[in-house]
Structure 1
Amino acid sequence: MSIARIEPYDDYLRVHFTPGEGARHADFHWFWLRHNSDLDRHPVTQERIVCSSELPFEPSPRSVRLSGDSAAVEIDWSDHVEGRTSRYDARWLREYAYAADRAPAPPPPSDPAAITLDASRLEEPLGPLALRTLQRAGALIVRGYGTDTESIIDVFGREGLSVISTHFGRIEDLRTDNTTNSNTDQLGYTDSSIQLHTDQPFLERPPRYQLLHSQRPGTTGGENFVVDGLAAAHHLAEIDRHSFDLLRTVPVTFHRKQKSFERVLVSPLLDFDAPGGFRIRYSYFTLAPHRRPFAEMEAWYRAYNRFAKLVRDERHQYRFLLQAGDFLLYDNWRMLHARTAFTGARWVRGVYFDAT
């Protein structure tokens, strides 16, 4: 028996076996491999002499390779000062494969070209094409449309989307010198970076879609990025079911308090049973202090942080810079969005939509 190839990932190693009886491939957590290595065994009895609790929970392989005859995987561990190599025979790996032929949901996609249209090269009306892209990918970037926001509103109005006014007004002018909106005492009207979040999570029904229409880019910075929260949730369910279950069932409190506006709402972060379909509420700057039983608080933070680490990984983000006349339209029930800090007179217009 031999191994055809190996695929190292952040959290685990995938081993592809040569054709034969049994699993075609199997996934092994790095920690499981480190715990079951031959590095920490008595030289005479070959019994373990180290408990798993003594090992780093996120071990770092120095190198991973196939043996010369492809009959084993060889791993050098960075935590092992002697630099000895662990060897895992193909037959042994197949015998103890606890995740044979696993087909996990992929992590969130990241290629902005897959969701970008050039307004000057459209072969069909923008409205229907945009809604199909939203349904497929959750977000759409349109380059070179022009700076007339009202014309975009008209385009999507013909497709059954209506503008939703909020406590900011009908159209937000997201700029540091704003004089047109109410309740501007929040991060969107500053030049600070804003990490991933969904908008209006403190409302029973947050607006379904948001348009971010660039009127003028900043001098530096101001890059946008979005993440597919639905894809992230499915991926988390495959790699850490306990964390996924906590995010789906544990209610948290969102509290937006401004000079002239206040709302409170209690809800889990992930809601697969919401009217209209999946809904994610995720906003680190409107989260009230968590209140969980003492025995559950650490597990909750581990689950929340696991998801945050997943979506904050740039490999799982669509990242792009909007120039004047470009716009982003995204599904606020599905996607997380963010921006980097900027300098200069950056100006983006924001509009919320919902289906009529």
Structure 2
Amino acid sequence: MTIHRLESHADFVRVHFHPGSGPRHADFHWFWLRHNSELDRHPLTHERIVCSSELPFELRPRDVRVTSDATALEVDWGDRADGQVSRYDSQWLQTHAYAMGRSPAPAPPSDVSALAVDPKRLDGPLGRAVLQRLQDTGAAVVRGFGNDTEALIEAFGREGLSVIETHFGRIEDLRTDNTTNLHTDQLGYTDSAVQLHTDQPFLERPPRYQLLHCQRPAEVGGENSVVDGLAAALHLADVDSHAFDLLRTVPVTFHRKQRDFERVLTAPLLDFAAPGGFRIRYSYFTLAPHRVPFAEMEAWYRAYNRFAKLVRDEHHQYRFRLGEGDLLVYDNWRMLHARTAFSGARWLRGVYFDAE
């Protein structure tokens, strides 16, 4: 039994075996491999002399390779003064494999070309093409449409969507010198960065879709990013089922308090049973202090932070910059969105929609 090839990932290595019946694979966490290294056994009795609690949990190897005869995996942990490496026989790996043939749920995608809708190459209406892209990817980016936001509202209206007026008004003018909207005392009307979030999580039914229509880009900065929250949730379920279960079952409180507006709602971050399908509520700036039992608080924070690190990883984000006349439409029940800090007179128009 030999090793055909390796695939190194952030938390694990995939080992492809090459038996006579055809290649198979198994996944092994780096920590599991380090805990089972023969380097941490007594040279005479071969008993363990190191407890797993003595090892750094997030350790990563300096190098991983297959031996020249393909019969073993070698891992250089980079922490040995004598330069020794851990060696794992291929047959031993197969005997102790705990994830043979695993088919992982992929992390959220990042190829922004998947969001593109070219209005010059459409056979049908723009609104219909955008809604189809939302079903597939959760977001759509249209370049060079022009500055007429009302025309976009009409286009989506013909596809069965209606404008949802919020406490900001019918159309938001997202600019630092806003004089057209109510309740502008929040981050969206500043030039600060706004990290990943969903909108209106403090409402029982947040608006389903949002349009962000660029009237004028910033002089510097103001790039957008969106993340597929559904893909992130399914990926978390695959790599850390306990964290996933906590985010799906533990209710948290969202509290939006402004000078003349206040709403409070308590619900889990991930909801797979919501009317209309999957719904994520994620807004770091409207979270009230967590109230879970003392014995569960650290576990909750570990679960929340693992999800946050997953979606904040730029490798899992669609990242782009909107120019004048460009627009972004995203599914607010599925996608997280963010923007970087900026300077200059950036102006986007925001409109919420829902199905009639």
Residue 40 of structure 1 corresponds to 40
2:149 and 2:176 mapped to 1: Cα distance?
19
Distance 1:157 1:62 in 2: 56
Tell me if the contact between 1:60 and 1:79 (Cα under 8 Å) persists in the aligned partners: no
Question: Which digits, 9 at most, give the CA deviation of each residue in 1:321-341, with x for residues without a partner?
Answer: 000000000000000000000
**Does structure 2 conserve the Cα–Cα contact (< 8 Å) formed by 1:75 and 1:85?**
yes
Q: Please list the CA deviations of residues 13-44 of structure 1 after superposition, one character each: whole Å capped at 9, or x if unmatched.
A: 10000034698110000000000011111111
Task: Return the TM-score normalized by structure 2.
Answer: 0.98
Q: How many residues align?
A: 356
Q: Which amino acid aligns with 1:281?
A: R
Aligned equivalent of 1:348: 348
Q: Which residue of 1 aligns with 2:57?
A: 57
In structure 1, the gaps of 5 or more residues are: none
In the TM superposition, 1:44-123 aligns within 5 A as: 44-123=44-123
Task: Provide the residue aligned with 1:243 in structure 2.
Answer: 243
**Against the structure 1 CA distance between its residues 21 and 97, is the aligned structure 2 distance closer, same or farther, given a 3 Å change threshold?**
farther
Of 113-122 and 346-355, the range deviating more from structure 2: 113-122
Assess if the C-alpha contact under 8 Å between 1:209 and 1:352 holds in 2.
Answer: yes
Aligned to 1:329: 329
Structure 2: distance between partners of 1:106 and 1:94: 24
Amino acid aligned to 2:232: A
* Separation (CA, whole Å) in 2 of partners of 1:23 and 1:120: 46
1:202-229 deviation per Cα after TM superposition (whole angstroms, max 9, x unaligned)? 0000000000000000010000000000
1:127 matched to 2:127? The reply is: yes
Per-residue deviation, 1:59: 1.1
Which residue identity does 2:217 align to in structure 1? P
Q: CA deviation at 1:84?
A: 1.0
CA distance in 2, matches of 1:80, 1:274: 52
Is the 2:2–2:19 Cα contact (8 Å) retained in structure 1?
no
Q: Partner of 1:277 in structure 2?
A: 277
TM-score by length of 1: 0.98
Unaligned segments of structure 2, at least 5 residues: none
Instruction: Check if 1:318 corresponds to 2:329.
Output: no
- Displacement of 1:312 in angstroms is 0.3
Amino acid at match of 2:243: S
**8 Å Cα contact 1:23-1:101 kept in structure 2:** no
Query: 1:82-106 CA deviation, whole Å, 9 max, x = no partner?
Result: 3211111110000000011000110
SS of the aligned residue for 1:183 comes to coil
Deviations 1:275-327 (A, max 9, x none): 00000000000000001111000000000000000000000000000000000
Is 1:23–1:100's contact at 8 Å kept on the other side of the alignment?
no
Cα deviation, 1:334-356, whole Å, max 9, x if unaligned, reads: 00000000000000000000000
Post-superposition CA distance 1:165-216 (Å, at most 9, x none): 0000000000000000000000000000000000000000000000000000
Where 1:285 maps in the other structure, the secondary structure is: helix
**1:263 corresponds to:** 263
Once residues 28 and 81 of structure 2 are traced to their aligned partners in structure 1, the CA distance between those partners, rounded to angstroms, is: 23
2:202 aligns with 202
Whether contact under 8 Å (1:108, 1:317) holds in the other structure is yes
List structure 1 segments (4+ residues) > 6 angstroms apart after TM superposition: none
Task: Report the Cα distance in structure 2 between the residues aligned to 1:70 and 1:9, rounded to whole angstroms.
Answer: 20
Give the Cα–Cα distance (whole angstroms) in 2 for the partners of residues 149 and 222 of structure 1: 20
Matched residue SS, 2:62: strand
